[in-house]
C-alpha cells in the first residue's frame, strides 16, 4: 500500500494536467483536443520543471479503448472495400517503406551509423524498433528519441493540416452510432483478455492489435452497428496524449539538439513526400486523396484513425493501410538491414 501511494505521488497530477490541456484545446477549437491538448500540456509542465510521471498502465488502457473503437468500424461492407483495394494498399505500404529507406541512406551519408539510423527512422512501432536496436547494438537512446519526435510531430502537423485542407471545423460533430452495451461490455472485457493472451505469446502491440482484432471479427461476423461512447474515446485519447507527453522534458531537448533537428527535418520531409505520393496514386486510381494520405502517413494508426473518424473519411481503409504498412515494415526491416550491412562490408 505504501508503494502505491509513493508511486501515486509521481503521477497523480498527470491526468489533471492532461484534462486541463484538452479543455483549453477544445476551447481553442483545435483538432483532436483530447490527445493533442493533453500531450502539449504534459510536455509544457515537464519542460518547466514539474516532472509529472507516467500514469500506470495509462497508455495501455488508452490503446484498449481506441482499439475497440477501431474494430467496431470493420463491418462487412468495409471489409469488402478493403479486399477490393488490397493490391493498392500493399503497393502503398511498399512505397512508404522505400521512401523511409531513401531517407535512411541520406542520413547514413551524413555520417550517422547505419544501424541506429535504420531502426530510428523505420516507420514502425516504437517498442519493436527499440528491441531491434538493442539486438543489433545500436544507439537505443537515439532510436527512442527519434520515434518520440516522429510521433509527436505527426500528431501536431497532420490532423490540423487535414482539417484546414478539408475546411471542416474541428468542433463539427459527425453523427455517431448508438452505444449498444449488450455487445460493448463483452467486447471490452474480451478485448482485454485478448490483449493479455497476445502479450503472453509476444505478439506486437498487444493492447492495440488484440482488442482491435477481436472487435473486427465480431463486427464483421454479426454486422454490428454500434460505437464506443464519446466519453470512453476521450479517455483513450487523454491517456495516449499524456503518455506521449511523458517522453519529453527539458533534459531531452538539451541532450542532442543537432540530432533532434535532423529527426524533425526527416519527419517533416517524410510527411511532405507521403502527401505527394498519395496525390499521385489518388490521381492515377481516382482514390480519395485524404484517405490515401492518412493511410500512408508514417505515424501511429491511433492518431490517423482518430483524424479519419473526425473527418468522416474511410476509417476502415485508413486503419487497414496503417496495419499493412506495419506488417510490411516488421517483416522486411531486419532482412533488409542484414543485406544492407553485408553490402557495406564488401
Indicate the domain borders of the chain: 56-345
Give residue 111's pLDDT: 87
Query: pLDDT band for position 2 (50/70/90)?
Result: low
- Lowest model confidence (mean pLDDT) among 75-89, 119-133, 214-228: 119-133
SS (H, E, C) 173-192: CCCCCCCCHHHHHHHHHHHH
Cell 557495406 belongs to residue: 344
Please list, residue by residue across 216-236, b when 16 or more beta carbons sit within 10 angstroms of its beta carbon and e when fewer do.
bebbbeeebebbbeeebbbbb
For 129: left if phi > 0, alpha if psi spans -120 to 50, otherwise beta; the answer is alpha
d(CA 34, CA 32): 6
- Lowest model confidence (mean pLDDT) among 165-174, 216-225, 229-238, 279-288: 165-174
Residue 311 has pLDDT above 60, yes or no: yes
Mean pLDDT of the chain: 91
Over residues 270-286, the pLDDT tens digits come to 999 999 999 999 999 89
For 32: left if phi > 0, alpha if psi spans -120 to 50, otherwise beta; the answer is left
Over residues 183-206, the pLDDT tens digits come to 999 999 999 999 999 999 988 889
Residue 171 has pLDDT above 70, yes or no: no
Over residues 48-64, the pLDDT tens digits come to 999 898 899 999 999 99
Give residue 321's pLDDT: 96
Residue 3 has pLDDT above 70, yes or no: no
Question: Can you read off the three cell numbers belonging to residue 203?
Answer: 505478439
Cell 491538448 belongs to residue: 37
Greater model confidence, 168 or 91: 91
Q: Write down the pTM of the prediction.
A: 0.91
- Lowest model confidence (mean pLDDT) among 176-180, 211-215, 221-225, 262-266: 176-180
Residue 18 has pLDDT above 60, yes or no: yes
Residue 77 has pLDDT above 90, yes or no: yes
Residue 1 has pLDDT above 60, yes or no: no
Give residue 173's pLDDT: 57
How confident is the model over 129-140, as a mean pLDDT? Answer: 90
Give residue 177's pLDDT: 87
Give residue 32's pLDDT: 92
Query: pLDDT band for position 174 (50/70/90)?
Result: low
Over residues 19-47, the pLDDT tens digits come to 999 999 999 999 999 999 999 999 999 99
Amino acid at each position: 500500500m505504501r508503494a502505491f501511494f509513493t508511486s501515486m505521488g509521481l503521477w497523480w497530477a498527470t491526468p489533471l494536467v492532461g484534462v486541463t490541456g484538452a479543455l483549453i484545446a477544445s476551447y481553442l477549437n483545435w483538432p483532436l483536443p483530447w490527445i493533442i491538448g493533453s500531450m502539449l500540456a504534459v510536455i509544457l509542465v515537464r519542460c518547466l520543471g514539474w516532472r509529472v510521471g507516467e500514469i500506470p498502465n495509462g497508455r495501455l488502457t488508452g490503446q484498449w479503448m481506441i482499439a475497440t473503437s477501431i474494430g467496431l468500424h470493420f463491418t462487412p461492407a468495409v471489409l469488402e472495400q478493403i479486399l477490393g483495394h488490397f493490391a493498392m494498399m500493399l503497393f502503398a505500404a511498399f512505397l512508404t517503406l522505400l521512401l523511409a529507406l531513401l531517407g535512411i541512406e541520406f542520413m547514413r551519408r551524413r555520417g550517422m551509423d547505419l544501424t541506429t539510423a535504420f531502426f530510428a527512422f523505420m516507420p514502425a512501432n516504437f517498442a519493436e524498433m527499440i528491441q531491434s536496436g538493442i539486438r543489433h547494438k545500436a544507439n537505443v537512446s537515439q532510436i527512442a528519441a527519434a520515434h518520440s519526435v516522429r510521433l509527436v510531430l505527426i500528431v501536431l502537423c497532420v490532423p490540423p493540416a487535414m482539417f484546414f485542407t478539408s475546411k471542416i471545423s474541428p468542433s463539427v460533430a459527425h453523427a455517431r452510432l448508438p452505444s449498444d452495451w449488450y455487445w460493448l461490455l463483452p467486447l471490452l472485457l474480451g478485448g482485454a483478455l485478448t490483449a493479455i493472451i497476445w502479450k503472453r505469446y509476444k505478439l506486437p502491440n498487444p493492447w492495440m492489435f488484440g482488442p482491435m482484432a477481436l472487435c473486427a471479427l465480431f463486427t464483421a461476423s454479426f454486422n454490428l452497428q454500434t460505437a464506443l461512447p464519446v466519453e470512453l474515446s476521450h479517455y483513450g485519447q487523454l491517456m495516449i496524449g499524456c503518455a506521449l507527453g511523458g517522453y519529453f522534458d527539458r533534459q531531452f531537448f538539451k541532450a542532442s539538439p543537432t540530432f533532434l533537428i535532423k529527426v524533425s527535418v526527416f519527419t517533416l520531409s517524410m510527411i511532405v513526400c507521403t502527401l505527394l505520393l498519395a496525390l499521385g496514386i489518388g490521381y492515377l486510381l481516382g482514390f480519395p486523396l485524404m484517405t490515401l494520405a492518412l493511410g500512408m502517413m508514417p505515424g501511429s494508426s491511433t492518431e490517423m484513425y482518430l483524424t479519419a473518424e473526425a473527418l468522416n473519411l474511410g476509417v476502415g481503409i485508413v486503419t487497414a493501410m496503417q496495419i499493412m504498412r506495419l506488417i510490411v515494415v516488421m517483416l522486411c526491416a531486419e532482412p533488409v538491414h542484414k543485406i544492407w550491412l553485408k553490402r557495406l562490408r564488401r
